[in-house]
Amino acid sequence: MSRKIFLSFLVLAALLLSTVPVTAAGGNQTIGVNVLLNTDITDAILQDLGAHGRVRDVVYAIDAVTMQIRASEMGALQALPYVLAVGTDAVRTGAPLDTVFVEDFVDGLGTWNLDAVNVTNPGFNNRQVPYDGTEVYVAVLDTGLVDSWRQYFPEERIAEEYAIAFGGGGGDQGWVSSQPNKWEHDQNSHGTHVTSTILGYSLNGTPINGVAPMVTVIPVKVLNQNGSGWSSVIARGIVYVADLKAGPLADYPVVINMSLGGSALDPVEQAAIDYAIANGVIIVASAGNNGLAGMGYPGAYPPVISVAASGWMGEWEPGNGSWWWNRNVADPTNPADFYITDFSSRELPGQDLDVVAPGSWVVGPYQVNSGHTSYYYLGGTSMSSPHVAGIVALMLEKNPALVAADVELILEMAAVPMPAGCLTVNQPAGPETFCWEADATGAGLITADAALSLTP
């Protein structure tokens, strides 16, 4: 199996293209749209909107509604005096209940990817930074967690009281519904793997360290069982986390990780991001897996901290199947030791790529059979994003007063510049050469120690 085919399986279709443009739809076709208003929502406005279609969901916090309309109504809807923007609902992609009998993985085994961001060195009890994410919340907007998540993660590290699932969206359903318990019945495993990078995990009883093993993760399921979803659902999940930050979590730093995206930014999704940032939430997202075709959204939206994917020259050392945990990444960080993966999205004009983190051959829990624990290498910017979300959590533990603009600036200043180049590295099928230009690297390779050293 070629690397590209292998990666297309591993990436789990995390960043598929957006929905079909309205111009391609017939005038009588029913479509799902997200409508952003320029004023507060009133009963009179909702009644008036009902003349153009069916209102299926209302998000008062950002003055937005989700509707089902005929495609021919799009222009009339946009022309209404209280309508700021209209966008089609866009595609977004990305058992046993045994308990892990520990509260965290602070003393767990280090892995190559954690060594690459200078969180650990190889071996146990070997953290290299004085912070672990204590009293920071990280909301993982993804597929949720698998039924057997307690076999991987300590219950103390998962905020079950705030965990939630949102579903629906799109032209077929239209409405967005809340499903409180579905978050822990995922059949996809993408969200579980993403969470494992932040927290660490139990590998058949062996503790594996995480970037921020003492954070409290809030699972927010916004992608369905095949790993895809809609921007209206993403927006609802973002608003939910922002309202937590404005309410019961007002005294705690809150980070959102979104290892997902699509080809266009929905105006309601943008409004939700702006609302969350205004409420003090820091948002990190994957850059996308579209290579030269450009970044995905919301990662490409400038206020979001976007993350590209790197690999390491020490991968797949011949005769060493345990390279991912027993090989040392050289210090200080040398950009010549790393490459940009071929799938990692490049920055196009008008897009904003911030930093690079490990996103190739990252090991974590991924189940192919429900209830049966298993572990896989995964590759994608879905894997690089949680490294940075974890680093942000460490920064916020050090200084909870940081806002989104502060965090993004510090990360960009701390990153090790990575020039354009080529690198030949071992892969399962043999040596392979990767090449990249300056549009693939943002500010460069981020490490936790450098980011913390610049955090006031």
What does R_g of the chain's alpha carbons equal in angstroms?
A: 21
What does the domain layout of the chain look like in residue ranges? 3-17+93-454, 22-88
What is the C-alpha separation between 221 and 62, in angstroms, rounded?
20
What is the C-alpha separation between 317 and 310, in angstroms, rounded?
17
Asked if 185 is an active-site residue, the reply is no
CATH superfamily of 3-17+93-454: Peptidase S8/S53 domain (3.40.50.200)
Asked if 196 is an active-site residue, the reply is no
pLDDT at 17: 22
pLDDT tens per residue, range 247-279? 999 999 999 999 999 988 999 999 999 999 999
Averaged pLDDT of the chain: 89
The residue written with tokens 């209302």 in the block is 58
φ, ψ (nearest 5 deg) of residue 410: -60, -45
Average pLDDT over residues 68-84: 93
What does the buried/exposed string (b/e) look like for 38-49 if buried means 16 or more CB atoms within 10 Å of the residue's CB? eeebeeebeeeb
Residue from 63, 89, 104, 142 carrying the catalytic annotation: 142
The residue written with tokens 């967005």 in the block is 176
Residue from 202, 231, 286, 382 carrying the catalytic annotation: 382
Are domains 3-17+93-454 and 22-88 of this chain identical in fold?
Answer: no
pTM: predicted TM-score of the whole model, two decimal places: 0.87
Asked if 382 is an active-site residue, the reply is yes
Of 119-123, 157-161, 319-323, 438-442, minimum mean pLDDT range: 319-323
What CATH number does the domain located at 22-88 have?
A: 3.30.70.80
The residue written with tokens 């904003």 in the block is 352
Residue from 52, 190, 193, 387 carrying the catalytic annotation: 190
The closest of 342, 345, 341, 339 to 293, measured between CA atoms, is 345
Does pLDDT of 305 surpass 80?
Answer: yes
pLDDT at 12: 33
Average pLDDT over residues 208-225: 96
pLDDT tens per residue, range 16-30? 222 222 233 346 788
- What's the chain's length in residues? 456
pLDDT tens per residue, range 89-139? 888 876 334 445 566 789 899 999 999 999 999 999 999 999 999 999 999
Task: Name 115's bridge partners.
Answer: none
What is the C-alpha separation between 256 and 265, in angstroms, rounded?
17
What is the C-alpha separation between 396 and 417, in angstroms, rounded?
24
Which tokens belong to 112?
Answer: 């190559």
